[in-house]
Amino acid sequence: MSKIKELREHFSSLTRLKYISNLLNWDLQVYMPDGSNEGRSELISLVGEITHKRLISKKTEDLISNAEKIDNLDLIDSAILREAKRQYEKAVKIPTELVVEIAKTATLGHKAWEKAREKSEFSIFLPYLEKMIELQKEYADLIDIGECRYDTLLDDFEPGATSKWVSSTFNELAPKLQKIVKKLDSSNDKPTQAVLKKYYDPEKQWEFSNEIIEKLGFDFDIGRQDKSVHPFTTSIASEDVRITTRIMENFLPGCLFGTIHECGHALYQMGLMEEIHSTNLADGCSLGFHESQSRLYENFLGRSKDFWNYWYPKLQNFFPENLKGYPMDEFYRSINTVERSLIRVEADEITYSLHIILRFEIERMIFEDKINIKELPQLWNEKMETLLSIEPPNDAEGILQDVHWSGGAFGYFPTYTLGNLYGAQIYNDAINSNPNLLDEFSQGNFSNLLSYLRKNVHQYGAIYQPRDLIKKITGKGLDPEYFTTYLKNKFYPIYKI
Amino acid sequence: MSKIKELREHFSSLTRLKYISNLLNWDLQVYMPDGSNEGRSELISLVGEITHKRLISKKTEDLISNAEKIDNLDLIDSAILREAKRQYEKAVKIPTELVVEIAKTATLGHKAWEKAREKSEFSIFLPYLEKMIELQKEYADLIDIGECRYDTLLDDFEPGATSKWVSSTFNELAPKLQKIVKKLDSSNDKPTQAVLKKYYDPEKQWEFSNEIIEKLGFDFDIGRQDKSVHPFTTSIASEDVRITTRIMENFLPGCLFGTIHECGHALYQMGLMEEIHSTNLADGCSLGFHESQSRLYENFLGRSKDFWNYWYPKLQNFFPENLKGYPMDEFYRSINTVERSLIRVEADEITYSLHIILRFEIERMIFEDKINIKELPQLWNEKMETLLSIEPPNDAEGILQDVHWSGGAFGYFPTYTLGNLYGAQIYNDAINSNPNLLDEFSQGNFSNLLSYLRKNVHQYGAIYQPRDLIKKITGKGLDPEYFTTYLKNKFYPIYKI
């Protein structure tokens, strides 16, 4: 076997171990009996241990240094080597004890966070959060990529992203978003969500959402949808991509847009070129890019007028008791209600990114040692006031709302907003290069959108890094202007401004 | 860590790898999308490879030889060491190439078998069967336990069983079974299955079968039931035991008794004592013993009059369109119809074992080189005539009906009948030691039966070997007389003899 083929195969076995771990997690969240937690966490740990040992082995080191001696690697093999080095070099820097300590703290921290949120008492979570932050600092100091600790953390989720770059991007974005929200505030004719909060039969919601994603290109021959408490997308092979949804009886958008969102992720995973299946490139090129696809489908497409020109009559047939005679235009406005609210996951397209910017700013301060962890709730509330002009009445609806920090996921939040920005820029390019696209949506034809995304984004998986891929697709680096222009063009008419 | 604890932990990791493999297989049969076969077989192979490497490692050898130096191991630790040696000593004797070759032949052979059965052409399957038999001979010659090749094959499924012993047991059994069948033939008042072949709503069949197993003690907090083409039981932890069923619209016994059968297997897995969870003892002590539990529940209990005294009125309420006014006694007779038939899996309690004895006799001849594989169909048909007085009209309903041989499972079939024999002997003891048991069944109380089985069988897992366990429970070795006595006492009255 050639040296590069050996490397490829070795890292493919690591990808397969990840798929196994994904199945263990999928099952845990979807079908596992309630009483089986302990046994399951043993299985997940075992796979993690085997993966880690294989990754930091002498064999990995040798395979990489042999592959590095090869001249003229092609595009895919160079990327395989690049990712192999990235994974290996990070992993060898971290002692096993630290990995174990982080996992342990995450488990305990998660429990403490749940209790703290239930009682709305930050102090219950505080010691675990402090511990986790110390461990993450240690982790970042050991790996030490970029100019500061937070660069290292970011890099795990968004390869190549730096604090400086994210910061300047968000600093440009925030005031523009605030300005749009303020303008919408001044409207005399605001939409409401009332029609969405009627009773919608769960069985029918399920059916309708499946009909939509099938039409969008979700391939049920290599994928499935199930129900879970927290919706997610996972891959158990490139030909086995699964999404989950959650159905709320009295809130139509939950299942509907949740399903379309996860479908966007799934289409990415389903669209990888065959040459990279099972390799270490068989994934999105970053979380931000992944989120660009889910948000493109959920928001740019899924909450557009063109989309509903086709789907609204069908939705009316599914739920005549709520929607017969209800005007399409009002429905379209209702699914695009903008509101300053407390909870990130419930936020609209515009204010969502303000929630993210808040978290990014706090995370940066934490890892620059600029804030005492005890004072986080106060800082949170102040920033809510500054960014969203709203004050959390308690910690449960403030700093305790998100699960991420309990598990040590710092540097993760920014990828949600990067996803919006990448998504807007790509969507703009898709429409410019396919002038009939919007008309096609009105006629229920979504295949050219998918072809565009397959050709420009999906097929490449992680061959390119995000900053290269966005340039390759759109001819320029990430520019938040596409997103804000999209928002203005869409929401001012909705708010009759 | 003590030496024995290290050994225990090492083999527990192998058990956990088996659980992971079980989940991959469960998912494959229950929820995996159709197009994901290739990716899945890669994952299953990877786990197999990791398991095999770990099992034949120097570490395993050292741990075993260290543990062997310890005096005074307690019951459980001695059994852990015994099983560790058993697994290790077999595995090291087999070169990896042979393992790979068998797996490859099994995959190709399975496809050829499917095609052969579809077309009813033995010649399509023949070359793969010949190859597989050669490989199994090689395997048996390398491991070389007991007095002949077939002893080695048997030992994989029924530890300690020998050809000689099985043969003498079956030689005693066969004429007795034939005699009973002949006697039933002479009846002037035979039951029929007509009432069972009406339309039974699949949803209601599902509901009813779940109600039954819950009452029998199946714990849905650490287990679940799903649907699959071939019903099976699997464990993904001692607290995660799953069964599947298949529902036929026009045949009530399929789902009903299938579910109770798998429930019997599941109760065994759910009843292991906590000290052996995740160890290499966390399973039944043999396939025969496992089958004793499934058949005890399916047949001895599930097709008994006492059982239906309680359940029949409920079944009538589920399906009044078929059963309202239909007498309980006739229903009881119909589920106990005995018929000489072609297909093993459709056979009744009595003729079933004649199908098994046929397979056992053929397998023995194969591995004693007493038959040319080309002549198997003829041999099969002759033995059908001798044992069951019935001649297969074609190979699909003859020698091609079972999947086992295509996968290399020779020595497996006898465990089905051993299960009947163990089951009858244990059931007899259960009733003798709990004189109220049958009355309890009539009142819907099945907990004392389960307590008896937990105490005497389930909790021990593989601590004891089958021949020791049957003695420990009943005070004597396996005696087919219990089974034939049970059959006579039950079936003569049903057939009004």
Domain annotation covers residue B120:
no
Cβ of B43 within 8 Å of Cβ of A19? The answer is yes
User: Rounded to a whole number, what is the distance in Å from the CA of B28 to chain A's nearest CA?
Assistant: 11
Q: Which candidate from B39, B46, B277 shows the least CB-CB separation from A240?
A: B39
**Which of A65, A92, A119 marks a domain boundary?**
A92
Residues B173 and B81 in one domain: no
**pLDDT (tens digit per residue) in A158-170:** 999 999 999 999 9
**Set of chain B residues whose Cβ sits within 8 Å of the Cβ of A46:** 13, 16-17, 20
**Same domain? A315 vs A421:** yes
Overall number of domains in chain B: 2
Judge whether B262 counts as a catalytic residue. Answer: yes
List the domain range (segments joined by +) for residue A484. Answer: 158-497
**In B273-339, where do the E strands start and end?**
none
**DSSP 8-state assignment for residue B458:** G
- The verdict on a CB contact (< 8 Å) between B23 and A27 is yes
Q: Would B102 be classed as within a structural domain? A: no
**Intervals of chain B under pLDDT 70:** none
Catalytic residue among B158, B262, B361, B363: B262
Share of chain A above pLDDT 70, in %: 100
Whether residue B287 is contained in a domain is answered as yes
B339, B345, B346, B347 alpha-carbon torsion, rounded to 10°? 20
* Per-residue model confidence (pLDDT) at position A480: 97
- List the strands of the sheet with B240-245, edge to edge: B223-227, B240-245, B233-237
Do A274 and A401 share a structural domain?
yes
Of A31, A38, A239, the CB nearest to B224: A31
User: What is the rounded distance in angstroms from the CA atom of residue B90 to the CA atom of residue B68?
Assistant: 17
Distance from CA of B42 to the nearest CA of A (A): 8
Tell whether B359 and B446 lie within a shared domain: yes
Q: Does B111 touch chain A (CB under 8 A)?
A: no
CA distance A232 to A263: 10
- In the stretch 265-294 of chain A, residues with CB closer than 8 A to chain B read 277-278
- Could you tell me the two tokens for B474? 């009943």
* B193-238 pLDDT tens trace: 999 999 999 999 999 999 999 999 999 999 999 999 999 999 999 9
Would A97 be classed as within a structural domain? no
Mean pLDDT of chain A: 97
Contact flag A35-B238 (C-beta cutoff 8 Å): no
pTM: 0.95
Burial of B58 from C-beta contacts in 10 A (0-12 / 13-18 / 19+): exposed
**B109, B131 in Cβ contact below 8 A?**
yes
Cβ-based contacts of B282 with chain A (< 8 Å): none
Interchain proximity A23–B27, CB inside 8 Å: yes
Same domain, B89 and B156: no
- pLDDT for the residue numbered A162: 97
Which residue from B minimizes the CA distance to A16?
B43
A180 and A49 in a common domain? no
* Mean pLDDT, residues A30-37 taken together: 94
Last residue of a domain, one of A35, A59, A92: A92
Q: Give me the helix-helix angle, B37-55 and B58-68, nearest 10°.
A: 40
Q: At what angle do helices B202-216 and B305-318 cross, to 10 degrees?
A: 140
Rounded mean pLDDT, A245-273: 98
Q: Could you tell me if B276 and B397 lie in one domain?
A: yes
Q: Tell me phi and psi for residue A223, to 5 degrees.
A: -165, 170
Are B70 and B161 members of one domain? no
Does B264 share its domain with B412?
yes
List the CATH number of the domain containing B481: 1.10.1370.30
Looking at the structure, do residues A243 and A387 belong to the same domain, yes or no?
yes
Could you tell me the two tokens for B17?
């790898």
Query: Searching chain A, which residue's CA lies closest to the CA of residue B38?
Result: A239
Residue A358 CA to residue B265 CA, distance in Å, equals: 55
Q: What is the DSSP letter of A220?
A: T
Whether residue A167 is found in the same domain as residue A82: no
Instruction: Please report whether residue B127 resides in a domain.
Output: no
Q: What is the pLDDT of residues A133-177, one digit of tens each?
A: 999 999 999 999 999 999 999 999 999 999 999 999 999 999 999
pLDDT in tens, A71-96: 999 999 999 999 999 999 999 999 98
The reported pLDDT for the residue numbered A436 is: 97
Measured between alpha carbons, how far is A179 from A336 in angstroms, rounded to an integer? 17
Question: Can you give the pLDDT at residue B96?
Answer: 87
Q: Can you give the pLDDT at residue A466?
A: 97
Residue-wise pLDDT for A185-235, tens only, equals 999 999 999 999 999 999 999 999 999 999 999 999 999 999 999 999 999
Mean pLDDT of A293-316: 98
User: pLDDT tens for residues A333-363?
Assistant: 999 999 999 999 999 999 999 999 999 999 9
Question: Which of B57, B226, B240 is the mutation pick for testing A, counting most A CBs within 10 A?
Answer: B240
Q: Can you name the residues that pair with A242 across neighbouring β-strands?
A: A224, A234
Min Cα separation A14/chain B (Å): 10
**In-domain check, residue A361:** yes
Give the length of chain B: 497
Using the beta-carbon criterion (under 8 Å), do A238 and B39 form an inter-chain contact?
Answer: yes
Complex ipTM more than 0.90, yes or no = yes
